[in-house]
Amino acid sequence: MNPVVRLALEEDIGSGDVTTLACVPADRMARGRFLAREPLVIAGLDLLRDLYHAPTLLKRDGDRCAAGETVAEVAGPARLLLTHERVALNFLQRLSGVATAARQFADAVAGTGCRVLDTRKTTPGLRALEKAAAAAGGVTNHRIGLFDAILIKNNHIAAAGGVRQAIGNARSSGLPIEIEVRTRAELDEALASGAEHLLLDNLTPAEAAEWVRHIAGRTKVELSGGITLANVRAYAETGADFVSSGAITHSARAMDLSFRLELL
């Protein structure tokens, strides 16, 4: 069982589901359906395998679902179905929210040649699940954590003693290196130092387009800061290779799904 699912069950059930134990006979069998109650992109379905015996998954993560569609079916002891209901819905609603937001961002930049990246602005403990949901929705996963790629930001530059020093010190790691630049002077210094991936933060689309023209394909360019669904296409049309948005994970709305149970 996924340890996150185990933790969620322990948190919710505690010493026992007193309502279900009091109301439902131990030998009562039932089946249930998970339903989308609004249009959404589904994610988190594989977690149902940890919560129920042999669930029937009618959709795959990343599939679009219409309101009223059944996404999965489960059967077994009614007590089990009821006790695991809220944990199952919490995961499906949260992860489908991330996948739905990701799909909206991916659709918004379609045809521009620019890819949308997610960020590390995830729910503590749920990063792997939320990044999987973001990928299912159609965006590209950025670094998973602090361990798999180097992203030199303004505080790193200050601590290292400058752009050139930060890049030079980081090369010995052998890892991919990305560096954030905030001024044209930092930009030119990063280019002169052989930067392979630049992060341009908090520019307007017009400013970003000017900087991208100045870079002229000498390195990969990512734009971030204040990028929303309303303006992401304007940023994508600047010629940047990537745009990143924390909103895909930190501001995703839980989607409306429900569980309907009937006796066997």
Q: How far is CA 194 from CA 153, 159, 197, in A?
A: 16, 20, 9
3-class SS at 146?
A: coil
Task: Judge contact between 65 and 59, C-beta under 8 A.
Answer: yes
Its pTM stands at 0.95
The one catalytic residue in 31, 33, 49, 86 is: 86
Q: Which of 121, 127, 164, 220 is catalytic?
A: 121
Cβ proximity of 96 and 225 under 8 Å? no
What does the pLDDT read at residue 176? Answer: 86
Is 131 noted as a catalytic residue in this protein? no
Provide CATH 3.20.20.70 ranges for the chain.
103-250
Measured CA to CA in angstroms, residue 136 lies from 45, 95, 105, 202, 215 at distances of 11, 10, 12, 27, 32
Report the pLDDT value the prediction gives residue 146, as an integer from 0 to 100.
Answer: 93
The residue from 120, 153, 164, 220 that is catalytic is 153
Mean pLDDT estimate for the chain:
96
Tell me the CATH number of domain 3-99+253-263, given options 3.40.50.1390, 3.30.1130.10, 3.20.20.140, 3.90.1170.20: 3.90.1170.20
Whether 59 sits among the annotated catalytic residues: the reply is no
- So what CATH class is 103-250? alpha beta
178 is catalytic: no
Q: Where along the chain do the CATH 3.90.1170.20 domains lie?
A: 3-99+253-263
121 among known catalytic residues: yes
| Active-site hit among 201, 210, 237, 256 | 201
Residue of 180, 186, 189, 241 marked catalytic: 180
Encode pLDDT of 139-185 as tens digits: 999 999 999 999 999 999 999 999 999 999 999 898 889 999 999 99
What residue ranges of the chain have pLDDT lower than 50?
none
Active site residue 153: yes
